[in-house]
Amino acid sequence: MDATRLGIVPGEGWLTFIQTDDLDRFELEHDVTLDADGNLGVVQRPGADERIARILLDTYLLGDARQSAAAASALEERRP
């Protein structure tokens, strides 16, 4: 989903986030070493999850301050 549709201004964040369906295979195919700066995140998910709530949550957790604030606001608006 296009971040601008969520009201988020595109920009470069501090964290590189990678999603894979198999962490073991990912580690075998890529030279993953200790990330002393803490700016690499890799998670295992069984497949793409295009639900707006998942996208907003990922943006809230992984975005820069501006993206995170916009996602938090959008999540609050959708709360029942």
Amino acid at 15: L
pTM exceeds 0.75 for this model: no
Low-confidence ranges of the chain (pLDDT < 50): 1
Question: What was the pLDDT predicted at 75?
Answer: 92
Question: What was the pLDDT predicted at 12?
Answer: 61
Question: What was the pLDDT predicted at 5?
Answer: 58
Amino acid at 5: R
Q: Angle at Cα 68 formed by Cα 65 and Cα 72, nearest 5°?
A: 135
Domain ranges for the chain, please list them.
14-47, 49-80
Question: What was the pLDDT predicted at 36?
Answer: 63
Question: What was the pLDDT predicted at 74?
Answer: 94
Terminus-to-terminus CA distance in the chain, angstroms?
23
Q: What is the per-residue pLDDT across 43-61, written as a single tens digit (0 to 9) for each?
A: 777 777 788 888 888 888 7
d(CA 76, CA 67): 14
